[in-house]
Amino acid sequence: MRILIANPNTTASMTEKAAAAARAVAAPGTEIIAATSKGGPASIEGHYDGAIAVPGLLMEIREGEAAGADAAIIACFDDTGLEAARTLADIPVLGLCESAVMTAAFLAQRFTVVTTLERSRVLIENLVRHYGMGDRAKVRAADIPVLELEDKASGALGKLERQIERALQEDGAEAIVLGCAGMADLARSLQRQYGVPVIDGVSAAVKQAEALVAQRLSTSKRGSYASPLSKAYTGAMGTFAPMRT
Amino acid sequence: MRILIANPNTTASMTEKAAAAARAVAAPGTEIIAATSKGGPASIEGHYDGAIAVPGLLMEIREGEAAGADAAIIACFDDTGLEAARTLADIPVLGLCESAVMTAAFLAQRFTVVTTLERSRVLIENLVRHYGMGDRAKVRAADIPVLELEDKASGALGKLERQIERALQEDGAEAIVLGCAGMADLARSLQRQYGVPVIDGVSAAVKQAEALVAQRLSTSKRGSYASPLSKAYTGAMGTFAPMRT
Amino acid sequence: MRILIANPNTTASMTEKAAAAARAVAAPGTEIIAATSKGGPASIEGHYDGAIAVPGLLMEIREGEAAGADAAIIACFDDTGLEAARTLADIPVLGLCESAVMTAAFLAQRFTVVTTLERSRVLIENLVRHYGMGDRAKVRAADIPVLELEDKASGALGKLERQIERALQEDGAEAIVLGCAGMADLARSLQRQYGVPVIDGVSAAVKQAEALVAQRLSTSKRGSYASPLSKAYTGAMGTFAPMRT
Amino acid sequence: MRILIANPNTTASMTEKAAAAARAVAAPGTEIIAATSKGGPASIEGHYDGAIAVPGLLMEIREGEAAGADAAIIACFDDTGLEAARTLADIPVLGLCESAVMTAAFLAQRFTVVTTLERSRVLIENLVRHYGMGDRAKVRAADIPVLELEDKASGALGKLERQIERALQEDGAEAIVLGCAGMADLARSLQRQYGVPVIDGVSAAVKQAEALVAQRLSTSKRGSYASPLSKAYTGAMGTFAPMRT
Amino acid sequence: MRILIANPNTTASMTEKAAAAARAVAAPGTEIIAATSKGGPASIEGHYDGAIAVPGLLMEIREGEAAGADAAIIACFDDTGLEAARTLADIPVLGLCESAVMTAAFLAQRFTVVTTLERSRVLIENLVRHYGMGDRAKVRAADIPVLELEDKASGALGKLERQIERALQEDGAEAIVLGCAGMADLARSLQRQYGVPVIDGVSAAVKQAEALVAQRLSTSKRGSYASPLSKAYTGAMGTFAPMRT
Amino acid sequence: MRILIANPNTTASMTEKAAAAARAVAAPGTEIIAATSKGGPASIEGHYDGAIAVPGLLMEIREGEAAGADAAIIACFDDTGLEAARTLADIPVLGLCESAVMTAAFLAQRFTVVTTLERSRVLIENLVRHYGMGDRAKVRAADIPVLELEDKASGALGKLERQIERALQEDGAEAIVLGCAGMADLARSLQRQYGVPVIDGVSAAVKQAEALVAQRLSTSKRGSYASPLSKAYTGAMGTFAPMRT
């Protein structure tokens, strides 16, 4: 089984961190293939970055599927482009936020997502509600620019810990979800430190991908995610035409 | 006051129809400027078309704002790219679905949106819920490919009428929302025909845009829609870097 | 176009303040007509005042419509009598709370309403939920008796500012809605002071009224707001019989 | 214990029917006092009738409380004036809709309210949601003008039966709530006929009133239902000033 | 009328306290019969205790019904076994949480439940949501082991008072619900102390039971609570076979 | 890795069917251990059967954990005893309904659960809502007694197919969830037949169990699922005392 980790931003070190987290939990027969977007923002912080990252992301998924991937993961906690990718691809596509909150729901009645910047907090809160967990989960921002997570000396970990502690004390959180792909390397040690489940979205998504493939399940092509209709795509976006002959 | 109607698809006849609907309701001092996307799909039918249309749309809005527009309207009922556009622009940005359902809410306790294709139905149902109208509104698809609305002989009107009739009889609808920019020319006659309010999203959005500008209100730049952060944008998306110097 | 501002309380200075706010945003061709209830409470603070204010309010709206008004606005943030007025009148009727929260929804994902007294707080919270914004908006009371807003020396502004500051810091508010018609004169300066959109209900309702009239839309008479049936009205309320011959 | 049945419409035969239903379920020591509004509409069909009925209703409740009633019931399924009455009175005040749906919730997971006219259907649906039962209850209208319920030859019973049958077959209803005070005499026989619980709002409210009085519980005067503040009430509504000396 | 108070734990002093509270509010003709579970946990603190208590509880209800009880009350605020008991019995069955929150809803727009341990807090929060009161009620835990309520010197009352005070100040609570059968003796004095309604679940359930019996209403046997089907029950649970011949 | 499939009913053929479905999707290194309850009902049809099945189920899980199981699955679609089992065990515990609807959510925006009997339909509908999928999923009953699924000649498959067809045509279902453990053998062929994803709860739960174990995640012991407190358990339930020495 081959699972594509598609990083929708252009920062290769984040791709590598996600790939490492993926490999740490992948089943013996699973091959993890990681791809970094070839064009777009260096990190995804808010709606604008997210929207512009989508075409590059979709191209990676299209190429990955053509190259034989059995499932694809969008390695950004905002689940940017998830619905478009499910429409485009025939293989299952997983988002980190969706995978992480569904995983947390098996472990705890109440949990808190800790993300990076305030500008992403409500965006993720809306996702969490859309996934049906609005009554069970809170979202906190730790005031960490995404790329600071790539720098151990940045103080990012301390900011993250402060929000986890507030989640446990003020939110009644029974588990913690790390709300950024760039935090994937921290889950295990934070779980030991706080004694509650700490969920990383990359790991969660890999296991969901394996689960779907093993069950021979893929995205429904009836209704919402029906394959794109054949039509003219022009201009700078001409290469994205859904049907190529 | 200048209001930009930005059509995120590349079909100029749809832009013209939306512009005509806009001009029909605009206040005397309002100038309607219409722009067609320079690159992307010929129509937006489902999540994939919608995602790929966004970069071209954002470029139109960026240019329109630079040229002095006081507000922008995204002329697609899926409200594609709305959140990204609000993040990018300093002027207010309006979506058709959001404007139409908010307008309907002043007129009726229960209403039905009639859109084109089944693949767009759940997408719009999710939007309607996100806008807080999930308990008041139903969504129906009339099985009309978007571009058939450009062809009077296509039978599209009959399909639309059948769904309006079912909405009135089965849904308890007290008003009807037309769920596609390409239906803008039909609202008045359908309102006369059925004796209930029939809301067109383009018209609704123009009046909401005028309303915000007259009140000197624009998108909050605190939190969700904070302006994009300065960062590297590379590859095919390099021209979308948020900070230009 | 003529828009009636119907103040459901009997305090003429509040009517004047509302009319001034209305005129400040009205389009060039819009005439604002203001009416003060001829009988009822001097201010509306809680459910009892609100209920007793309704007959006087409805009489103003009936007279205004007969005199040629194109739309009516109920100048109280509790939207008292709104549904009855929509049933009675053929012209559109707008409430301040409804208009303000719909307007805020175009500008911000999360916002806070700041109203006067604790006894009105839950009443408005219930309205906000009914309008579909319960997941996006919080409501705070500033402990200001309504008529203190008519007295610049009362300290009311300071109390209001304290709640706005708490909304920004504690609620994650991205915009502020002023939750009393008597605050209409403060919106512009508070918006400058805090750098976020500050919405006044009177202004919002005027623009919504203009929007509906321009679109030739009015309250649906199918279902919830069907015109009153002809029947006997007796006693002190005999003058309110819906059909007069 | 004395319980006031306050009929907010002016039709004495409906008052008598409600009083009879109340006496049939009242505990041995409970005295039922029935009052008909001295001024207002002959029946309550929709928002306008409901709003105009409130002042007369409140006067009955004020007088009943002064005369020693221990609790008051508003004998209309629309719960018109309920919040104002709770604000005014120190004794508990019960509505029929609220009492009936709370009672049904102890007996069935899913139930259907059958009311009179379509114009009342959404009004009651909104009440049911406000009382927290929106996920458990449906509302149907049987197309019966209220006063037809006073006429055995009107065919009203047949229309009611048809909707009960549809509720059982199409809604999965496990119990039925009769959605008009004028149906109080039909509950027992319909329960025998259909073999499911059939709840009458008058009966339910009487038992809730007795329950509260026996527990020495009354409306909270903290927050939403705080007693009306002393203030000027003028004009035709001058007699409603909250403070009497 | 005979009402069974079935204590699902094995602590007889709690049964007696509940029976005393029940007798204090019962109508003159109501006989209160109290039964303590013959097998199970000494107190119910969390999901595991609750699940294991159910078979003993159901046996008490089965015996009570056979002995002529007209209604049964499960004397635990977690409403453990409520749905199974309703399925088993033909007489009405009431839970404390359900009865208490429905009662509070007639008295206050917003209220807070104060329960014993944190491990029960979310369990009760989920019940409150299931009963439709999630938007109106908060739940607090006072950190009191259940059996400490049987010991006046334990300091439990002080802990309870602290949470009531926080509910009034921080939650905007207009009424308080005591969230444990073991608090039944405290309601009256706390109501005097804080000047807001304080609801005890045992008292509330007794009055609801009387209300249903007086209306000749019982659990619907259509759908969710249909009587158990005849089938083999084996092993240690063999005595629980639903059909006895 | 060893996963326990604990069948809470006493019918060994259903255990075997579930175990076969589990083995068909289990990863190479996963050992499936299946256990049938030693005491309780032969099938679980409604709340009563479900409640009585729990003690036997919990004993199987306790024994399975002691014998080295890494995760446990409750092989009944009602998720009976799930919360108690999570409280009792230190290993992850999965329910079929929870696992299946979470899996469906990755594949489709809208889906329908088809279960056996009407008496289970609302029970499952409530579970689906509790898991956050109430806005996305409908539940249908096919009128099949559970044990008929063990008999190929019973006509059960035809009844199931009829409901699947109605779900696709009337509900807008994009995927189907089979709502009974006894349907586990039918998923693959129904998926081929209808061309939409068909999810079996046993398969879904096995993959979720593997996913959690691989991520070193288990039930949070903070809050809702804290381990049972040490206390006296007496009578027939004495063997269930949570602390064993």
DSSP string, chain C: -EEEEEESSS-HHHHHHHHHHHHHHS-TTPEEEEEE-SSEESS--SHHHHHHHHHHHHHHHHHHHHTT-SEEEE-STT-TTHHHHHHH-SS-EEEHHHHHHHHHHTT-SSEEEEES-HHHHHHHHHHHHHTT-TTTEEEEE----GGGGG-GGGSHHHHHHHHHHHHHHHS--SEEEE-SGGGGGGHHHHHHHHSS-EEEHHHHHHHHHHHHHHTT-----SSTTPPPPP--EEGGGGGG-S---
Chains interfacing with B (3 or more CB pairs < 8 Å): A, C, D, F
E235: distance to nearest CA of chain D, Å? 32
Q: Are F75 and F202 in contact (CB under 8 A)?
A: yes
Structure tokens at E127: 């019940």
- For tokens 């206390």, the residue is F231
Residue type, E174: E
On chain A, the residues whose CB falls within 8 A of the CB of C110 are 122
Question: Are chains C and E touching, using the cut-off of 8 Å on CB pairs and a minimum of 3 such pairs?
Answer: yes
D64: distance to nearest CA of chain E, Å? 19
- Report the residue of chain C nearest D241, measured CA to CA: C41
Each residue's pLDDT tens digit, D7-18 = 999 999 999 999
Full DSSP string of F71-92: EEEE-STT-TTHHHHHHH-SS-
Please give the pLDDT value at position D236: 86
For chain B (length 245 residues), average pLDDT per consecutive 10? 97 96 96 97 96 97 97 98 98 98 98 97 98 98 92 92 98 97 95 98 98 98 96 90 66
- Contact A37/B86, CB-based, under 8 Å? no
Residue B55 touches chain A, beta carbons under 8 Å: yes
Residue A128 belongs to what H/E stretch?
A: helix A118-130
On chain D, the residues whose CB falls within 8 A of the CB of C37 are 235
Please give the pLDDT value at position B150: 86
Please give the pLDDT value at position E245: 45
Each residue's pLDDT tens digit, C206-238 = 999 999 999 999 999 999 999 999 999 999 889
pLDDT at C105 over 80: yes
Please give the pLDDT value at position F244: 52
For chain F (length 245 residues), average pLDDT per consecutive 10? 97 96 96 97 96 97 97 98 98 98 98 97 98 98 92 92 98 97 95 98 98 98 96 90 66
Question: Are chains C and F touching, using the cut-off of 8 Å on CB pairs and a minimum of 3 such pairs?
Answer: no
How far apart, in whole angstroms, are the C-alpha atoms of residue A49 and residue A33?
Answer: 24
Suggest the residue from D115, D117, D118, D122 to mutate for an interface test with chain B (most B CBs closer than 10 A).
D122
Say which residues have a Cβ less than 8 Å from residue A108's Cβ, sequence separation at least 6.
Answer: A173, A174, A175, A196, A197, F219, F220, F222, F223, F224, F225
How far apart, in whole angstroms, are the C-alpha atoms of residue D107 and residue E220?
Answer: 6
pLDDT at C124 over 50: yes
- Contact E27/D214, CB-based, under 8 Å? yes
Average pLDDT over residues A19-38: 97
Q: How many CB atoms lie within 10 A of CB C171?
A: 17
Q: How many CB atoms lie within 10 A of CB C194?
A: 18
Residue E90 touches chain F, beta carbons under 8 Å: no
The gap between the terminal CA atoms of chain A, to the nearest Å, is: 28
Window from C98-102, D233-237, E79-83, F205-209 with minimum mean pLDDT: D233-237
In a 13 Å sphere around the CA of F98, the CA atoms on its Cβ side amount to 25
- As a CATH number, domain F98-201 is 3.40.50.12500
Each residue's pLDDT tens digit, D157-215 = 999 999 999 999 999 999 999 999 999 999 999 999 999 999 999 999 999 999 999 99
F172: distance to nearest CA of chain D, Å? 18
- Report the residue of chain A nearest E140, measured CA to CA: A172
pLDDT at A127 over 90: yes
C–E interface: beta-carbon pairs under 8 A: 9
- Contact A172/E126, CB-based, under 8 Å? no
pLDDT at C245 over 50: no
Instruction: Out of F39, F43, F51, name the one closest to residue E234 (CB).
Output: F39
Each residue's pLDDT tens digit, F128-168 = 999 999 999 999 999 999 889 988 889 999 999 999 999 99
- Report the residue of chain F nearest E39, measured CA to CA: F235
Instruction: Out of F122, F129, F134, name the one closest to residue D110 (CB).
Output: F122
pLDDT at C141 over 50: yes
- Contact A238/B39, CB-based, under 8 Å? yes
Of chain F residues 119-148, which have a CB less than 8 A from chain E? 119, 121-123, 126, 130, 145
- Is the interface score ipTM higher than 0.90? yes
- Contact F106/A174, CB-based, under 8 Å? no
Chains interfacing with E (3 or more CB pairs < 8 Å): A, C, D, F
Please give the pLDDT value at position A245: 45
Task: Using alpha carbons only, give the angle D238, D241, D243 rounded to the nearest 5 degrees.
Answer: 145
Residue F95 belongs to what H/E stretch?
A: strand F93-95
Each residue's pLDDT tens digit, E33-42 = 999 999 999 9
- Residue intervals in chain F for CATH 3.40.50.12500: 2-95+204-240, 98-201
- Contact E129/A110, CB-based, under 8 Å? no
How far apart, in whole angstroms, are the C-alpha atoms of residue B44 and residue B147?
Answer: 10
How far apart, in whole angstroms, are the C-alpha atoms of residue F5 and residue F21?
Answer: 11
Average pLDDT over residues A83-109: 98
Residue F185 touches chain A, beta carbons under 8 Å: no
Dihedral pair phi/psi, residue A98, rounded to 5°: -55, -45
Instruction: Out of C98, C207, C216, name the one closest to residue B211 (CB).
Output: C207
B–C interface: beta-carbon pairs under 8 A: 160
Show the DSSP H helices in chain E as ranges.
12-25, 47-66, 82-88, 96-105, 118-130, 156-170, 187-194, 201-214
DSSP letter assigned to residue A170: H
Please give the pLDDT value at position B243: 66
On chain B, the residues whose CB falls within 8 A of the CB of D134 are 135
Q: How many CB atoms lie within 10 A of CB A209?
A: 30
On chain F, the residues whose CB falls within 8 A of the CB of A108 are 219-220, 222-225
Find the farthest-apart pair of alpha carbons in chain D and give their distance in angstroms, rounded.
58
- Residue intervals in chain A for CATH 3.40.50.12500: 2-95+204-240, 98-202
Please give the pLDDT value at position D244: 52
On chain E, the residues whose CB falls within 8 A of the CB of A174 are 122
E144: distance to nearest CA of chain A, Å? 17
Average pLDDT over residues C122-142: 98
Please give the pLDDT value at position C243: 66
On chain B, the residues whose CB falls within 8 A of the CB of D129 are 135
Residue type, A41: P
F70: distance to nearest CA of chain E, Å? 20
DSSP letter assigned to residue E10: S
B236: distance to nearest CA of chain C, Å? 31
Structure tokens at B34: 């219409």
Instruction: Out of B53, B123, B235, name the one closest to residue A224 (CB).
Output: B123
Each residue's pLDDT tens digit, C60-85 = 999 999 999 999 999 999 999 999 99
Residue C41 touches chain D, beta carbons under 8 Å: yes
B210: distance to nearest CA of chain C, Å? 8
How far apart, in whole angstroms, are the C-alpha atoms of residue B48 and residue A171?
Answer: 37
How far apart, in whole angstroms, are the C-alpha atoms of residue D54 and residue D237?
Answer: 12
Average pLDDT over residues A53-71: 97
Chains interfacing with F (3 or more CB pairs < 8 Å): A, B, D, E
CA E103 to chain centre: 13
- For tokens 């009836």, the residue is A222
Fold of C98-202: Rossmann fold (3.40.50)
Average pLDDT over residues D120-143: 98
State percent of chain C over pLDDT 90: 93
How far apart, in whole angstroms, are the C-alpha atoms of residue E15 and residue E64?
Answer: 15
On chain A, the residues whose CB falls within 8 A of the CB of C109 are 122, 126
- For tokens 């029974």, the residue is A174
E231: distance to nearest CA of chain A, Å? 32
Report residue C182's pLDDT band, with 50, 70 and 90 as the boundaries: very high
- Contact C135/A121, CB-based, under 8 Å? no
Beta-bridge mates of residue E233: F41
Say yes or no: domain A2-95+204-240 is CATH 3.20.20.80. no
Full DSSP string of chain D: -EEEEEESSS-HHHHHHHHHHHHHHS-TTPEEEEEE-SSEESS--SHHHHHHHHHHHHHHHHHHHHTT-SEEEE-STT-TTHHHHHHH-SS-EEEHHHHHHHHHHTT-SSEEEEES-HHHHHHHHHHHHHTT-TTTEEEEE----GGGGG-GGGSHHHHHHHHHHHHHHHS--SEEEE-SGGGGGGHHHHHHHHSS-EEEHHHHHHHHHHHHHHTT-----SSTTPPPPP--EEGGGGGG-S---
A193: distance to nearest CA of chain B, Å? 31
Suggest the residue from F11, F37, F48, F62 to mutate for an interface test with chain E (most E CBs closer than 10 A).
F48
**Pairwise pLDDT comparison (B128 vs E146), residue with the higher score:** B128
- Report the residue of chain B nearest A121, measured CA to CA: B224
Dihedral sign, CA of B90, B92, B96, B98?
positive
- Contact B174/C134, CB-based, under 8 Å? no
Residue B46 touches chain A, beta carbons under 8 Å: yes
Residue B62 touches chain A, beta carbons under 8 Å: no
